[in-house]
Structure 1
Amino acid sequence: MILVTGATGAVGREVAALLAAAGPVRILARRPERLRVTGDGVEVVAGAYADRRALDRALRDVTSTFLVTNSPTEPDDERVAEAAADAGVRHLVKLSMMAVEEPGADDFITRRLRENERTIRESGVPWTFVRPRTFMSNTLSWAPGIRSEGVVRALHGDAPVACVDPRDVAAVAVAALTGTGHEGKAYAVSGPEAITAREQTAELARVLGRPLRFEELGVDAARAALLAKYPLPVAEAFLESAERQRVGAKAEVTTAVRELTGRPARPYRVWSADHARSFAA
């Protein structure tokens, strides 16, 4: 049995769906009513990482676990790793991010993910780290502005990023969960090209068949918007990450999707076409 956490998120729900299509899967969910993955082979355990009894129920007879950190401010990975070790789990596949292996990245979120990876290494459970670049689905945050004004507002419009389709990240994770020889390895997962926010805006305009305008946000405006949604350390981490993107630190393209799935990574034009409804008026 494979356990999936984070199954209401961009990658976790795709991992759960891929596994459910091939056989039984168990899901640990804080809010089961938000799950989109259903079927006879889907078993759901309601509970949070802080609920050790729920964790123990979810991990019973589990051989492999897909772990998504719920909060950068909570010791979620430590709790899951300890419970997984006690339950005899043989493989833990952790969703991390590419920045953890980059010396120039020292923001709050990256530091916490490095700590989480260290916790998992020290747990005694064989591990695999899946480290994606920025998700293409992050541009869904532009949808309200596109629908209401035909405008995209973002930082650093000409900064390239090799963003990745969450479906490709999920496919890499499933390959690690179901295949052999992945223990002790870390996979950096990117899309097939580096693309800027201006170029993404142009692609969305093409898909939607109407003009869109790009407006570059200043750092102060971006900080204010982030602070309306996130605690200060998290907001500042996003700003530091954006600055790294501005100077080209996120443009590297990797081959992990092809190597683990046998097919190329999807470009942004495919993701945008598949999600056009989310941006339509």
Structure 2
Amino acid sequence: MILVTGATGTVGRELVRRLPGDLAVRVMARDPSRLEAVAPGTDVVAGDYTDPASLDRALRGVRRAFLLTSRVGGDDDACFLRAARAAGVRHVVKVSAAAVADERADDLITRWQRTTERLLMDSGMRWTVLRPRSFMSNALSWATSIASEGVVRALHGTSVNACVDPRDVAAAAVCALTEDGHEGRIHTLTGPRPISAVEQAAELGRVLGRPVRLEELSPDRARARLLERHPVEVVDALLASAERQRAGAKAGVEDTVLRLTGRPARSFRTWAEDHCEAFRRTP
């Protein structure tokens, strides 16, 4: 049995779609009603990292698990791994982030990710860590301004990031969950080339058939916008990450997607073409 957590999220949703139909799969979600259609025979359970009884039920009979947590600074990983070990889980595949390998990255989010990686590696279970760069799907945060104004607003618009299509992260997770040889390995996942927000805006404009321009945010304006959605400690971490990106820390490209899946990593243009309708709709 394979357990998938985070199945309502960007990567987990794609992973559920891609797991072979002949495998026994269980999907855990806090609110199962938010799940998209799952394959016949998929076991769906309600579970919460803060509810030990629900974790025990979700992990019963599971041998491999996909772990994705998002509560920065929380103990969700610790709760899950404790329950997984007690349930006899043999192998956990965890999504972390590429910044963990950067010695210059010392923000709250990266420190938390390092801590949770270490919890897994020291758990006594077999492990695989996926370290993606930023997701191409982060561009969906521009959907409203593009649809209504033809504008992308971003900090450090010419800095580049080798962002990755979440579908490629999910494909790598399928490999790690269904093949031998991934235990004890770290897979860094990137797109095929680094790309800036200016270039992303231009690509989206070409796909949509109309101009899309970038409006550069000042650091103060970027901070104010982030504070509308995140606690101050997370905002500080995101701004520190943006400064590292401006310094070139996120420009490196890996061929991991090709090596794992046999197919090159998808380009931002491909991602944009496949999601163009999201940028045509206004609320």
Using the size of structure 1 for normalisation, the TM-score is: 0.98
Alignment of 1:133 with 2:110, yes or no, is no
Q: CA deviation at 1:22?
A: 4.7
Q: What residue identity is the alignment partner of 1:227?
A: L
Q: Point out where structure 2 has 5 or more consecutive residues left out of the alignment.
A: none
1:261-281 deviation per Cα after TM superposition (whole angstroms, max 9, x unaligned): 011000000000000000014
Number of the residue aligned with 1:62: 62
Shift in CA distance, 190/22, structure 1 to aligned 2, threshold 3 Å:
farther
Query: What amino acid sits opposite 1:48 in the alignment?
Result: D
Aligned-partner residue type, residue 107 of structure 1: D
Q: TM-score, normalised by structure 2?
A: 0.97
Distance in 1 (CA, whole Å) between partners of 2:24 and 2:88 is 19
Amino acid at match of 2:259: E
What residue number does 1:213 align with?
213
**Alignment of 1:161 onto 2:161:** yes
Alignment check: 8 A CA contact 1:23 1:41 kept: no
1:44-83 equivalences under 5 Å are 44-83=44-83
Q: What is the rounded CA distance, in whole Å, between the counterparts of 1:182 and 1:118 in structure 2? A: 17
CA distance in 1: counterparts of 2:167 and 2:21, whole angstroms: 14
Matching of residues 23-172 of structure 1 within 5 Å: 23-172=23-172
- What SS is found at the alignment partner of 2:118? helix
Are the aligned partners of 1:4 and 1:67 in contact in 2 as well (CA < 8 Å)? Answer: yes
Deviations 1:2-29 (A, max 9, x none): 0000111111111111116453311110
* Secondary structure of 2:145 counterpart: helix
Alpha-carbon RMSD across the aligned residues, in angstroms, is 1.0
Residues 1:192 and 2:226 are matched in the alignment: no
User: Which moved further from structure 2: 69-78 or 132-141?
Assistant: 69-78
Deviations 1:191-249 (A, max 9, x none): 00011000000000000001112101011111111111011111111111111111110
Bigger CA drift: 66-75 or 164-173? 66-75
- Which residue number in structure 2 is paired with residue 232 of structure 1? 232
CA deviation map 1:95-122 (0-9, x unaligned): 0000001101111000000000111111
Query: 1:20·1:41 contact (CA, 8 Å) conserved in 2?
Result: no
Q: For structure 1, list consecutive stretches of 5 or more residues without a partner in the other structure.
A: none
- Superposition deviation, residue 65 in structure 1: 0.3
Separation in 2 of the partners of 1:226 and 1:276? 25
Could you tell me how far 1:70 is from its partner in structure 2?
2.9
Q: Give the secondary-structure state (helix, strand or coil) at the position aligned to 2:69.
A: coil
Structure 1 residue runs of 4+, over 6 Å off?
none
Supply the distance in 2 between the matched residues of 1:20 and 1:227 (Cα, whole angstroms): 41
8 Å contact 1:4–1:28 — kept in the other structure?
A: yes
Q: 1:259 maps to what in 2?
A: 259
> In the TM superposition, what is the alpha-carbon distance from 1:39 to its structure 2 partner?
2.8
Residue 238 of structure 1: SS of its match in structure 2? Answer: helix
Which 10-residue stretch deviates more, 127-136 or 117-126?
Answer: 117-126
Is the alpha carbon distance of 1:271 and 1:85 closer, same or farther for their aligned partners in structure 2, counting shifts above 3 Å?
Answer: same
Paired with 1:160 and 1:105, the residues of 2 have a C-alpha distance of 17
Q: Percent identity?
A: 57
**Post-superposition CA distance 1:155-192 (Å, at most 9, x none):** 11100110000000110011001000111100000000
